[in-house]
Amino acid sequence: MLVTARPSDLSQIKSNLLGTTFTVPEFEPTSAPAVTSRGIFVDLDTLTTPAITLTKQRLTAFGSKLSAEHEEAVARLISRFTLQANGEQRGRYAVAMPCGTGKTLALVCWCATLVRSGLPYSVLICASKVDELVAIRRQLQEIGVPDDEVGLVHSLGYDRTDPADLRWPTEDNDQRRILLVTHARVKGGGFDASVTRFRGKRRSVVVWDESLIVSAAQSVELASLLPAVDWLLKRDALMGTENEDRARLRAYLERAVAIIEAEQHRLAKSAKPKPRTIHMPPMHEDDRTAFKAALPNVVTVEPIRAFLDMASEPLRLLGVRQGHGGVIRYDLAVPTDLDNVVILDASTPIRALVDADRTIKADDWFPGRTIKTYADVTIRWWKRAGGRDAMEREFAKPRDQRTVSREIVKAVKSIPADEAVLVFTHKPHKRQPDIGATLKADLKAAGIDVDAVLPDGLPRFSWATFGRETATSEWVRCRHVFLVGALYRSDLDLGAALVGQRDDLTAAVTGTEIREAQHSEIAHSVLQAVNRAACRTTLNGKAAPTTAHVILYDREPLDLVASVMPGLRIEDWETETGQEGMKTEAVKRAIVAYLSALPEGTDSVTLVALKKVITAELQVDLSNKCWQEARDRACVEAGWQVEGRRLVRN
């Protein structure tokens, strides 16, 4: 718990925390910084309480009505900033306040109060995009923070002739109490150590907007790498080449493949092989450059290029279900001395990659709190493959065969014409259909005005691609969201990411952990995308009405989303083609529940008996295809397998 005051102090302290005594624009410090350690209540009168008051005033002015739980959450967050800035507590702490509850505004108000207080603390604020930082700078300016107290570091262009363009970067940033930088400035090869200093000392606290993923993992699937090497060797043997660097590359790859195949053999012959690092033949940087230049300019050898970028570092062979595994490595992208961080991330409770990082602790007041309810928010789920490949195949079909477009057209036509719509699609790839542009054309062909402008002067339809679903409120007017698919990461990519987050190349990674990470990454994307829309607005602890239509094969990510959006309704998206998929999901879940309830020691069950129980329980007729698909997916999830006419535990 953050509260460390004596029990007899608590009622008065709560009154102070949630009161309205201070108005920051006329604020004068009422006391010197406290010397005695009193937990979150150090600098209470000077910093914490007036910052809470200012935040509440501005949330109310913006139309938010705060519930008692919401007010306390704001107080706890601002207290967290003070607690870590004044050194009472250090570490990387994640604060899981819901989207749209004023996290960024609370930070702005705390910073404004800090500047006025005269306290010696400083802050580094990190966000993913420059536009997000500019929005924070604008809020700081509007609240009265002098420009010379705020720094902004980036290398993008800006309009020097437009005084309203606040993207102008600053100099002398080590003299600016508040410094705004992108994540890239403090991660990986882009690390700029100067941004962490204020007047020669480390900045008091770092505030990180969104999930803090400390590692950067690399991976190459053997199912891609080994055929690529084989193709290159056979091509050169057939056609010949006079290139000396190419000959050296072939020799290098042959030695590297021999090491990989030996490790494959070691792993295959052991029931429980112990992970270990492997080392490729030595390669200097000049050699790597020459080898990559010697490769033919064809897509086939791209796995070799990726492998060469990894090969000078210790590697590990990781086996997964997809593609027979591959080679992996990682770097710690966030410096370890960036160790006093407040992480503002609504996805923290559901994101497995964050949970795998032992350096991050959850602020223990927030989990399980009902700060915001979502009784007026509905997700309509269409169970069908929604990954990039599946959606690109779907939108490559002729218009009259595009069932996804047809169902979205039906859904949009049921929405009142004066209500705004937000659509997320996969980013277009070369030589693949542009899903967003194709869907827009299909809507237009169906008589829907995709260029319509609403009475507020803003377009009715907003379009975005996956990857833009975080840290923006520009679409909060949209009451309807369509997620045309979902972001899937490969098993090997997620396995490598888990290893990196644990900062141990030989860490054990199970198939179950990879599946959970897959579900949690999709859930993170869905949670953030849905919360770009109207439900971001909070009125008296309740999200504004919003409906989301989601195309996704698995139900589990939506259950994770519901766990952090209390009151959220998940319904079937009634489509012409979706009913069989919904039935398969229901059967799978029933089988998993049945197997999980079997007594310990029961290690097998006949398929005939299982099917009889399930069909009686659900009172449905099952096609062979539906039964077999549900059975096989349930086995993967529950840890069973088919042997003849029985299911047996793995």
**pLDDT tens track for 287-313:** 999 999 999 999 999 999 999 999 999
The verdict on residue 432 lying in a domain is yes
The verdict on residue 367 lying in a domain is no
Out of 522, 554, 576, a domain closes at 576
The verdict on residue 54 lying in a domain is yes
Which pLDDT score, from 0 to 100, does residue 579 have? 62
Distance CA 500, CA 333 (A): 10
Distance CA 586, CA 577 (A): 16
The mean pLDDT of 14-42, rounded to a whole number, is: 39
Q: Per the structure block, which two tokens stand in for 114?
A: 């800090």
pLDDT tens digits for range 344-365: 999 999 999 999 999 999 988 8
Q: How confident is the model at residue 192 (pLDDT cuts 50, 70, 90)?
A: confident
Q: 604-606 and 646-649 as β-strands: parallel, antiparallel, unpaired?
A: antiparallel
Q: Is the pTM of this model over 0.85?
A: no
Q: How confident is the model at residue 38 (pLDDT cuts 50, 70, 90)?
A: very low
Domain match, 347 and 430 both: no
Domain match, 25 and 112 both: yes
Out of 542, 576, 610, a domain closes at 576
Q: How many domains does the chain have?
A: 4
Q: State yes or no: pLDDT of 33 exceeds 50.
A: no
Q: What is the CATH number of the domain that holds 85?
A: 3.40.50.300
pLDDT tens digits for range 87-145: 888 999 999 999 988 899 999 999 999 999 889 999 999 998 898 999 999 999 999 99
Out of 543, 576, 609, a domain closes at 576
pLDDT tens digits for range 47-68: 999 999 999 988 888 777 788 8
Residue that is written with structure tokens 């069989």 in the block = 580
Reference 52, options 23, 81, 21, 74; nearest CA is: 74
Q: State yes or no: pLDDT of 602 exceeds 90.
A: no
The verdict on residue 84 lying in a domain is yes
Of the candidate ranges 20-34, 46-60, 327-341, 527-541, the one whose mean pLDDT is the lowest: 20-34
Give the list of residues 6+ apart from residue 163 with CB closer than 8 angstroms, or none: none
Give the list of residues 6+ apart from residue 475 with CB closer than 8 angstroms, or none: 420, 422, 462, 464, 532, 533
The verdict on residue 369 lying in a domain is no
Domain match, 206 and 235 both: no
Domain match, 417 and 516 both: yes
Domain match, 324 and 344 both: no
Per-residue H/E/C for 306-372: HHHHHCCCCEEEECCCCCCCEEEEEEECCCCCCCCEEEECCCHHHCHHHHCCCCEEECCCCCCCCCC
Which pLDDT score, from 0 to 100, does residue 6 have? 32
Give the list of residues 6+ apart from residue 371 with CB closer than 8 angstroms, or none: 67, 69, 70, 73, 97, 98, 101, 541
Q: State yes or no: pLDDT of 9 exceeds 80.
A: no
Q: How many Cβ atoms from other residues are within 10 Å of residue 137's Cβ?
A: 23
Domain match, 340 and 450 both: no
Q: How confident is the model at residue 18 (pLDDT cuts 50, 70, 90)?
A: very low
Q: How confident is the model at residue 12 (pLDDT cuts 50, 70, 90)?
A: very low
Domain match, 46 and 31 both: yes
Q: How confident is the model at residue 41 (pLDDT cuts 50, 70, 90)?
A: very low
Residue 627 identity = W
Q: What is the CATH number of the domain that holds 626?
A: 1.10.10
Which pLDDT score, from 0 to 100, does residue 471 have? 65
The verdict on residue 371 lying in a domain is no
Question: Domain residues for 16?
Answer: 7-213+334-362
Domain match, 204 and 250 both: no
Per-residue burial over 151-166, b = 16 or more CB atoms within 10 Å of its CB, e = otherwise:
bbbbeeeeeeeeeeeb
Domain match, 383 and 527 both: yes
Q: State yes or no: pLDDT of 37 exceeds 60.
A: no
The verdict on residue 550 lying in a domain is yes
Which pLDDT score, from 0 to 100, does residue 489 have? 92
Domain match, 420 and 479 both: yes
Q: In which element (H, E) is residue 206 found? A: strand 205-209
Which pLDDT score, from 0 to 100, does residue 8 have? 33
Q: State yes or no: pLDDT of 558 exceeds 80.
A: yes
Q: 420-425 and 604-606 as β-strands: parallel, antiparallel, unpaired?
A: unpaired
Q: State yes or no: pLDDT of 205 exceeds 50.
A: yes
Domain match, 395 and 542 both: yes
SS3 376: coil
Domain match, 237 and 144 both: no
CB-based contact 438:395 (threshold 8 Å): yes
Which pLDDT score, from 0 to 100, does residue 582 have? 66
For 244, which DSSP code? H
The verdict on residue 601 lying in a domain is yes
